Structure 1
């Protein structure tokens, strides 16, 4: 039988999900946030709340460096 890493048969404990923090304004999520945007820059994952994502949509879609916007 094969399973994915971290599956239930590996004995790994499931950690509590950490709240997301917006990389621009510092807003914290209280649960799943399907409207937030996830970005990977230089191998680091960061999240933007829906308000910051809307304000910077053109820069995000244009793939401009976050330092620029």
Structure 2
């Protein structure tokens, strides 16, 4: 556990109502994974191959701390 959340596996992706990519996490929560330089540099999210490559990797889930 870290101050920013618990590590959870990425199990899928979807687009929200504003057109932003969201990672679906193994805990049932979701987290935005925007590519919005210079604040968030995630060019991998813009391609199907990039998103596929991230499946099974972890993101920190802040909601699991609540």
- Structure with higher Rg: it is 1
TM-score (norm 2): 0.34
